[in-house]
Amino acid sequence: MTILITATICMLILVLVVYTVMAIVYSSSNTYSDLLPSPTSLTAQTQILDSGSVKTTLLSQGGSTVAGFFNVQFGDRTTRMTDPIALVGPNLTPALTYTTLVGVAGAFEFQIAPSRLFFDVSGGPNVQMPQSTAQLIVYTDHRNFDTIPLPPFPQQTWVFLSILRDGRRCDVMYDDKIVASHRIDVYPITVSNPLMIGAPSLLGQAVHLFTKNTRLTPTQISALRATYSDMTGQPPIKFPLPFLPIPFGTVQTSCLPGMPCNPVSKPPANAMKAWSSRYS
């Protein structure tokens, strides 16, 4: 009987040890460092990774991942609409003015532009704006880059943007959906620039930004997004508790007769209060 009990205890200990080891290994392989735990304004450029970390994490490996929540809108639409129209190409096609939302200058940049507008430019009705309002540019050398057109990036709402690279294959995801997949001709260039987000022409916030030296799968991206979002798919924003200038100890509360908050043995507030009764 004693041998049976000892064997059972040893088996339980062995199972517990194996389960603990597997849990540690699994959690460590699926844990990502949150580089932006609190909401950060997009009005100014903010450095997320320094140039050394970018080179070792995003540019020197066979793959990479950049993902995070963005809630963005343009803050200078009036200025952009009144500025002179830039004309490019032999047919003088109006060109959109792109703003980099997130990326590494000279390596890869996710860019957005205001809503597409069709201008009445002299030269006939054939003058159009074929560009997309969002694009990913990937530099293959210091002068040349590949342009990956993307669907319009949703504005004034939280979107989990993911930029995935596996070798020469580049994918872009909005939330849990792949919106573009493109294979460039040569490998992206390696530069010594930091990973930045934001621009002076943008409004909004970013939060929960992640990077990894491998390409995450869409399933892993979906799980990562669900970990840092609520049931609506948006990151829960923590509001600070209201400040109370009066400490709780000084707040006077009333006590009903017979309640335990004011027991009979409690002395009166005024120690010099005269005692009297109808029998005195």
- Range 179-183 contact pairs with CB under 8 angstroms and sequence separation of 24 or more: 179/150, 179/151, 180/136, 180/148, 180/149, 180/150, 180/151, 182/136, 182/146, 182/148
If you average pLDDT over each of 31-40, 138-147, 193-202, which comes out highest?
193-202
- How many Å apart are CA 112 and CA 156, to the nearest integer? 14
If you average pLDDT over each of 2-6, 65-69, 130-134, 186-190, which comes out highest?
65-69
- Residues 240-251, mean pLDDT to the nearest whole number: 48
Q: Which residues touch 214 (CB under 8 Å, ≥6 apart)?
A: 61, 62, 63, 64, 65
pLDDT at 266: 57
b/e sequence 73-104, b meaning 16+ C-beta within 10 Å: ebeeeeeeeeeeeeeeeeeebbebebbbbbbb
Bridge pairing between strands 87-88 and 169-174 = unpaired
Bridge pairing between strands 46-49 and 195-197 = antiparallel
Assigned domain for 54 exists: yes
Domain span at residue 142 reads 33-118+130-227
Yes or no: say if 181 and 169 are a contact pair by the CB < 8 Å rule.
yes
- Residues 119-145, mean pLDDT to the nearest whole number: 70
- Mean per-residue pLDDT over the chain, rounded: 77
Least confident stretch, 66-80, 162-176, 191-205, 208-222 = 66-80
Tokens of 47: 């450095």
* Residue that the structure tokens 């939302």 belong to: 101
If you average pLDDT over each of 14-28, 211-225, 254-268, which comes out highest?
211-225
pLDDT at 278: 66
Q: What are the CA-CA distances from residue 195 to residues 57, 103, 209, 237, 275 (Å)?
A: 11, 6, 11, 24, 78
CATH code (residue 52): 2.60.120.200
Tokens of 200: 């002076």
* Assessment of whether the complete model's pTM goes beyond 0.75: no
- Residues 84-97, mean pLDDT to the nearest whole number: 56
Assigned domain for 90 exists: yes
pLDDT of residue 6 exceeding 80, the answer is no
- How many Å apart are CA 149 and CA 138, to the nearest integer? 11
- Total domains in the fold of the chain: 1
Assigned domain for 241 exists: no
pLDDT of residue 247 exceeding 60, the answer is no
pLDDT of residue 127 exceeding 60, the answer is no
Measured from the Cβ of residue 49, the count of other Cβ atoms closer than 10 Å reads 20
Yes or no: say if 70 and 158 are a contact pair by the CB < 8 Å rule.
yes
- Residues 191-208, mean pLDDT to the nearest whole number: 93
Yes or no: say if 44 and 203 are a contact pair by the CB < 8 Å rule.
no
Assigned domain for 72 exists: yes
Assigned domain for 81 exists: yes
pLDDT at 19: 57
Assigned domain for 21 exists: no
Predicted confidence band of residue 13 (pLDDT cuts 50, 70, 90): confident
Assigned domain for 266 exists: no
pLDDT of residue 138 exceeding 70, the answer is yes
- How many Å apart are CA 108 and CA 54, to the nearest integer? 11
Closest C-alpha to 194, from 104, 259, 75: 104
Predicted confidence band of residue 190 (pLDDT cuts 50, 70, 90): confident
Amino acid of residue 69: F
pLDDT at 180: 94
- How many Å apart are CA 259 and CA 257, to the nearest integer? 6
- How many Å apart are CA 104 and CA 87, to the nearest integer? 27
Assigned domain for 173 exists: yes
pLDDT at 280: 55
Query: Residue 149 in 3-state DSSP?
Result: strand
